[in-house]
Amino acid sequence: MLDLLVIFLAQATYVSITTVRWIILVKGRRLLASVISFFEIILYVYALGLVVTQLSNPMKIVVYALGYAVGSLVGSKIEERLALGFVVFQVITNRIGQVAPQLRECGLGVTDWRAEGRTGEREVLMVVARRKHGPRVMQLLEELDPHAFVVQLDAAAYKGGFLQRVLPH
């Protein structure tokens, strides 16, 4: 029974670490991802070794697979909590001249320009924020203009401009 628990925990930890490492790698932190992969592969080999040496025990295979599934869930939750990187909000509103100043009052950097929509003039706003502030920015946009069209994108990188360190609640 102890060996099943060890297999489960090792596999769940391995997959959690793998998920976080991939996100860190995608965000451009190659050295950190490389260091993490060292420990990741040790767990992988250890857990797999406990299973393949006794393939006649189907319970070990099931526990290994269950550890993988739980590790995926836990890893995605950890990554969600870390919220590494930045998001870009592109907002299209017909409340011209109203939303951008309110966002700026909240300390957000906003670039705005006029555009033409199907039914008339619009204002397009671009807001960059830390990913951890993304839900709060979305909530703020909903409060300021519930009818705005909002697209949230991951920002691969940025240079210059104004970026709020802490978003007020």
What does pTM read for this prediction?
0.66
Poorest-pLDDT segment among 13-17, 48-52, 77-81: 77-81
Extended strands (E) in the chain:
86-93, 110-117, 120-130, 149-155
User: What confidence score (pLDDT) does residue 140 get?
Assistant: 94
Closest CA to 155 of 125, 124, 127: 127
- Yes or no: say if 128 and 109 are a contact pair by the CB < 8 Å rule: yes
**71-112 pLDDT, tens per residue?**
999 998 888 888 777 889 999 999 999 999 999 988 888 999
Residue 57: is its pLDDT beyond 60? yes
User: What confidence score (pLDDT) does residue 166 get?
Assistant: 57
